[in-house]
Amino acid sequence: MNEIYHIPALLNETIELLNINPKGIYIDATFGGGGHSRSIYDKLNKDGKLIAFDQDKDAQANAWKADNFILINSNFAYLKNFVEYLELGEVDGILADLGVSTHHIDEPERGFSFRFNAKLDMRMNVYNELDAYYVVNQYSKEKLTEIFRKFSDLKNAKQIANTIDKTRKEKEIKTTFDLVESIKELAPKKTENKFYAQVFQAIRIEVNDEMETLMSFLEQSTQILKNGGRIAIISYHSMEDKLVKNFFKNGNFEGERITDIYGNQIRPLKPLNKKVIVPAEEEIEKNNRARSAKLRVAEKI
């Protein structure tokens, strides 16, 4: 595993709660630097299998060769298709770490970070058409307001959208620094970095269609997990966590409790941790990017 590519968050807690069966079939839907994958793989015997997904071709450099390990260069939105194609049947466990890898943030040309000046991009899959440049320069004020409102915890979404719109009418916003400059006057003193991170996060989520992809992935997961199989999701912002929480608890994304005629709840999963699991201070000191990580685990019933 390439340590610099990405340091896995909540590693020990995730592996423990997945309760690895040495001869089971496991899926790591977000391979990245391979940290979670390697920890799962090390608990498998020759009869066990690990299938990993990553839509970023750069992740291939972190793979290893083994008969019972496959890394698929694809978005986890196609999870069920590949499970059927590989004739895996039902699987014992699924993991997804929804965070942006250290590799993406620290590669200036990918345009994920406000710390480096680069073309506005933010595509996880570089072959996708939609990029951050198009979102920032072509989306209407109303649509920009909507994504800042939905995909960040910022209270002044409309003001941010109006400020960007005013700037782009004078000149194109081509780079990450252009974007930062356009909204600089709105950044709160002493918490500027958090503000910029939230703006960039909202744009990145839109570019990569992350919420729709997550919902599709969760629904597909319940169809391929065997009874007693477990799914672990690590999320990093409130909207992701809310979707995961609602789906694990109620089997839908609205948080609606559905029952049969006898009042018994109908749902495909049961949460294993009622209270969300967050990193200990010791982990945050070693890996500051894990500070907002939240782990939820559920079991197929």
11-44 tens-digit pLDDT? 999 999 999 999 999 999 999 999 999 999 999 9
> Can you give the pLDDT at residue 143?
98
> Can you give the pLDDT at residue 56?
86
> Can you give the pLDDT at residue 108?
83
CATH 1.10.150.170, the chain: domain bounds: 129-207
> Can you give the pLDDT at residue 3?
45
Average pLDDT, the chain: 94
> Can you give the pLDDT at residue 157?
97
Nearest by Cα to 223 from 46, 121, 73, 91: 91
pLDDT at residue 5 greater than cutoff 80: no
How far is the C-alpha of 269 from the C-alpha of 297, rounded, in Å? 10
> Can you give the pLDDT at residue 103?
65
In one letter, which amino acid is 82? F
> Can you give the pLDDT at residue 219?
98
pLDDT of 287-301, one tens digit each?
988 999 999 999 999
pLDDT at residue 267 greater than cutoff 90: yes
> Phi and psi for 53 in degrees, rounded to 5?
-120, 145
In three-state secondary structure terms, 155 is coil
Q: How far is CA 103 from CA 22, 29, 120, 131, 220, in A?
A: 30, 17, 17, 18, 28
Nearest by Cα to 291 from 300, 281, 301: 281
> pLDDT confidence of 109, banded at 50, 70, 90?
confident
Confirm if 232 and 239 have CB atoms less than 8 A apart.
Answer: no
Residue 94 belongs to what H/E stretch?
strand 91-97
pLDDT at residue 80 greater than cutoff 90: yes
Average pLDDT over residues 51-55: 96
In three-state secondary structure terms, 1 is coil
How far is the C-alpha of 205 from the C-alpha of 151, rounded, in Å? 7
Neighbours of 43 (CB within 10 A): 16
> pLDDT confidence of 1, banded at 50, 70, 90?
very low
Q: For residue 47, what are the contacts with CB-CB under 8 A and spacing of at least 6? A: 22, 23, 68
Average pLDDT over residues 139-168: 96
Confirm if 206 and 133 have CB atoms less than 8 A apart.
Answer: no
In three-state secondary structure terms, 72 is strand
> Can you give the pLDDT at residue 102?
65
Q: What is the pTM of this model?
A: 0.91
> Can you give the pLDDT at residue 249?
97
Query: Which architecture does CATH list for 11-102+210-300?
Result: 3-Layer(aba) Sandwich (3.40)
Confirm if 97 and 234 have CB atoms less than 8 A apart.
Answer: yes
In three-state secondary structure terms, 271 is strand
> Can you give the pLDDT at residue 289?
83
> Can you give the pLDDT at residue 58?
85
- Integer distance in angstroms from the first to the last C-alpha of the chain? 34
Average pLDDT over residues 230-246: 95
CATH 3.40.50.150, the chain: domain bounds: 11-102+210-300
> Can you give the pLDDT at residue 105?
73
pLDDT at residue 2 greater than cutoff 90: no
Confirm if 35 and 65 have CB atoms less than 8 A apart.
Answer: no
State which fold the 129-207 domain adopts. Answer: DNA polymerase; domain 1 (1.10.150)
